[in-house]
Amino acid sequence: MEIILNGQSYQYDGGAQGLPLQEFLRNLSIPTEATAIALNNEIIPHSLWSETRIKEKDSVEIIRAVGGG
C-alpha cells in the first residue's frame, strides 16, 4: 500500500485490513517515547495506537520531541 509518511510517498505492505499504527512504528524501529503521531491531520492519542489502522493513501506525520538546551 502507499501512504504519505512525513510528506513523502512510502510503499508498505499493510494488507487489506491496514496496519495498526503501533505495529507500523515498531516495524520502522521508531521509539514510542516522546513521539506524537498525526494520521490524516488528526493527533492520535498513544492509548489508541494499537487499535488505529493505517490504510492506503493515509497521511502519517511522526513527530519526535528532543530534549536539550
Domain boundaries, given as residue ranges, for the chain? 2-64
Q: Which residues are CB-neighbours of 10 under 8 A, at least 6 positions away? A: 2, 3, 4
* CATH 3.10.20.30 describes domain 2-64: yes
Q: What is the pLDDT of residues 16-69, one digit of tens each?
A: 788 899 999 999 999 888 999 999 999 999 999 999 999 999 999 999 988 876
Write down the pLDDT at residue 17.
82
Which residue shows C-alpha cell 493505517? Answer: 54
Give residue 52's pLDDT: 96
The per-residue pLDDT for 69 is 65
Question: Cell 489508541, residue?
Answer: 48
Grid cell listed for 55: 490504510
